[in-house]
Amino acid sequence: MDVFITSKADFDSSIQRMIQQNEIYGVKRKTPSFAFDRLVAAEELCLDYDITVLPPTKYLLPPTESLIKFKLAPEPSIRSSAEAQPCILIGIHPDDLHAIKLLDAVFTGSLTDVNYLARRRATTIVGVDCVNPWPYSFAASMGTAIPPRIFDLWLTDLGDEYLVEVGSARGEDLRKRYLKTRRAREVDLRQRNKVRQDWLKKYQLSLDMPPQEIPKVLDEAWHSPLWEELGQKCLACGSCTMVCPTCICFDVRDGIELNLKEGERYRRWDSCMFDGFAKVASGENFRPTGTARLRHRLYRKGKYMLERYGELGCVGCGRCVHACLVDIASPVAAYNRLAKEAR
Amino acid sequence: MKPKIAVFDFTCCEGCQLQILNCEQEMPDLVAALDIITFREVMTERSDHYDIAFIDGSCTTESEIARLKEIRQRAKMVIPIGACACLGGVNCFKNLHPMEDVLKAVYGQAAPYYDTIPARPIHAVIPIDFFIPGCPIVKEEFIRVVQEILAGKAPYLPNDPVCAECKMVGNVCVFDKGQTCLGPVTRGGCKATCVTGGAVCWGCRGLIDEPNINAEKEILEKAGLSIKDIVEEFSLFNACQEDVWK
């Protein structure tokens, strides 16, 4: 394993040099929260943050994105819009990286999404262990508080230093070009294990079962009174899905210029919580009530995605738990309650 | 043949017409695609032979009813633009008082020379074909609707609440800052401009098709609003939809 140590002071100046030569998006203060945004100065970077308003997946699947541009005259033509500028994302938490792993399975699996692939290939990932989990997260119990090995570099805060784990050739290149490091010793690795264990204990919410059991719980839960109970309160505002790192649904629309000669097909985040999401051309809506839509969302997170892509659709970040103004979106609360009902 | 366009003003501040004028970049393409023949705020020439009538403002006098009926007869398509035309808008405040009092308050001794009736949105007076909401309208949405009409498509009316776009642009929820907001029940399409600019959503684009009003009231109450505050919150732009939210 290629593991190194860099002092925080050295790290700051490395970031400053990186900013001068690269497009970098990192975690910045957005009172009273944090947000991934373009870094201009090293001191803006907050690596001890609790949560960001939107997950970093917004750089891989942006809220709106052009898919193709077309021209009807003089000759009809179609051009793909898939292209991406190289960038570095700094400060991704383990749970959000698990979400990226799921997105990779969705968009680069049996069907390749060229837009996603272009962005993903152009993105270098520098993650960091979560030092301060916020009160709404349950990532520890989802097994997502430790990063999957799809990062380029991974940082662990050891007080005055960062432990830097290299995860790819691109990460090694970044380390060599910008970071001033020494090789980590056995004692550093032991220290990382220790602090990671300490941080895991800080999570306040927790799933009452191993995450792999969620599908089994859901198998028995289709007719639970829970759905009606939550559905009645649902604003159908879509906030829970918009802030979710694993939500991937989008709507595709065509726009045409006033000259009616050229236009663009684009996609835009959609939400299964919207009334119109499952409405089809005849006007039929196969999930017409908040109750049906809410149930669908929690089945999708806890069962369908696992069955189809091999990864659970919830990484326990807790953004939906907090974003929901009527307190009904929490997957952990729902799954725990359903498990209790089943017993 | 380019469609002939007329823009009419009723009771309003004319800000939505200004938004059309604000489409500076697109103006050459707009006038190339449309034959604008009546638009009092912009030009002195006028004609009664139009295909599409955009209507700014709400209906607040008897004479406006007659004028609307005439427009409806002449136009193939009638499209109200802006909160006043689509919802009645802030003009509906006066509906809370007897009309004589309102007239006296505004015109004093000259009150008998004016006629006024409770403010109504355009669709309450004549049938409409589509509407572009907002206070003021979003100029990109106006352009898009024109594009869609030109292309022969049914114009798209967003029905997702403001919350969705507010999240998409990455705003911190105003409830997290101790403020209140009508975003969860208000028709999106504005890119949550007001919240992004540091304010809250007052509901100028009207309610979504199936708003969960009880849930919205619950969160407003939880945020410390009294019943009176809540009524005021909804009344600013949505007084005419009282039957939905009261």
Give the ipTM: 0.94
Domain closes at, from B120, B150, B180: B150
Domain containing B63 equals 4-150
Residue B167 to residue A275, Cβ atoms within 8 A: no
Task: Determine the pLDDT at residue A123.
Answer: 98
User: Which residue on chain B is closest to A34 by alpha carbon?
Assistant: B172
Strands B77-81 and B52-56: parallel
Say if residue B103's pLDDT is above 80: yes
DSSP secondary structure, A300-336, as one string:
IIIIIHHHHHSS-S-----HHHHH-TTS---HHHHHH
CA-CA-CA-CA torsion for A13, A17, A22, A24, nearest 10 degrees? 20
Q: By C-alpha distance, which of A325, A319, A67, A95 is closest to A200?
A: A95
d(C-alpha B188, C-alpha B171), whole Å: 15
Residue B143 to residue A258, Cβ atoms within 8 A: yes
Please indicate if any CB of chain A lies within 8 Å of the CB of B224.
Answer: no
Residues B186, B132 share a domain: no
Say if residue A1's pLDDT is above 70: no
User: Which residue on chain A is closest to B156 by alpha carbon?
Assistant: A253
Residue B172 to residue A276, Cβ atoms within 8 A: no
- How many interchain CB pairs under 8 A, A with B? 103
Task: Determine the pLDDT at residue A221.
Answer: 97
Residue B41 lies in a domain: yes
Residues B130, B221 share a domain: no
Residue B156 lies in a domain: no
Residues B137, B81 share a domain: yes
Mean pLDDT confidence for B79-85: 98
Residue A233: list chain B partners with CB under 8 A: 212, 215, 218
User: Which residue on chain A is closest to B149 by alpha carbon?
Assistant: A258
Residues B190, B80 share a domain: no
Residue B116 lies in a domain: yes
Q: By C-alpha distance, which of A190, A235, A24 is closest to B214?
A: A235
Domain closes at, from B150, B175, B194: B150
Domain count, chain B: 2
Domain closes at, from B150, B176, B198: B150
Residue B161 to residue A236, Cβ atoms within 8 A: yes
Q: Which of A228, A269, A325, A327 to mutate to test the interface with B (most CBs of B within 10 A)?
A: A325
Residue A259 to residue B173, Cβ atoms within 8 A: no
Residues B47, B168 share a domain: no
Residues B208, B132 share a domain: no
Residue A242 to residue B215, Cβ atoms within 8 A: no
d(C-alpha A297, C-alpha A101), whole Å: 20
Q: Calculate how close chain B gets to A159, using CA atoms only, in Å.
A: 30
Residue B188 lies in a domain: yes
Say if residue A293's pLDDT is above 90: yes
Residue B163 to residue A237, Cβ atoms within 8 A: yes
For residue A227, count CB atoms less than 10 angstroms from its CB and return exposed for 0-12, middle for 13-18, buried for 19 or more: buried
Residue A235 to residue B215, Cβ atoms within 8 A: yes
Residue B219 to residue A326, Cβ atoms within 8 A: yes
Nearest to A242 among B32, B167, B215 (CB): B167
Q: Express each pLDDT in B196-236 by its tens digit.
A: 999 999 999 999 999 999 999 999 999 999 999 998 888 89
Residue B212 to residue A253, Cβ atoms within 8 A: no
Residue B170 to residue A258, Cβ atoms within 8 A: no
Using a pLDDT cut of 90, give the percent of chain B over it: 91
Residue B155 lies in a domain: no
- Radius of gyration from C-alpha coordinates of chain A: 22
Q: How many CB atoms lie within 10 A of CB B113?
A: 8
Say if residue B239's pLDDT is above 90: no
Q: Express each pLDDT in A107-160 by its tens digit.
A: 999 889 999 999 999 999 999 999 999 999 999 999 999 999 999 999 999 999
Contact of B153 with B166, CB cutoff 8 Å? no
Mean pLDDT confidence for B74-87: 98
Residues B223, B103 share a domain: no
Residue A35: list chain B partners with CB under 8 A: 170
User: Which residue on chain B is closest to A261 by alpha carbon?
Assistant: B151
Residues B93, B179 share a domain: no
Residues B21, B119 share a domain: yes
Residue B91 lies in a domain: yes
Nearest to B209 among A269, A275, A326 (CB): A275
Q: Express each pLDDT in B8-40 by its tens digit.
A: 999 999 999 999 999 999 999 999 999 999 999
Residues B171, B143 share a domain: no
Task: Determine the pLDDT at residue A153.
Answer: 98
Residue B164 to residue A233, Cβ atoms within 8 A: no
Interface of A with B (CB under 8 A): 30-33, 35, 53-54, 58, 63-64, 233-239, 242-243, 253, 255-260, 269, 271, 274-276, 290, 323, 325-326
Residue B246 lies in a domain: no
Residues B113, B186 share a domain: no
- CA A238 to chain CA centroid, nearest Å: 16
User: What is the side-by-side order of every strand in the sheet holding A64-71?
Assistant: A77-80, A64-71, A262-269, A250-256
Residue A32: list chain B partners with CB under 8 A: 172, 176-177
Tokens standing for A156?
Answer: 């662990």
Residue A271: list chain B partners with CB under 8 A: 160, 164
Adjacent-strand bridge partners of B7: B39, B54
Residues B137, B235 share a domain: no
CATH of the domain at B30: 3.40.50.700
Say if residue A224's pLDDT is above 90: yes
Q: Calculate how close chain A gets to B44, using CA atoms only, in Å.
A: 25
Q: Calculate how close chain B gets to A78, using CA atoms only, in Å.
A: 18
Residue B201 lies in a domain: yes
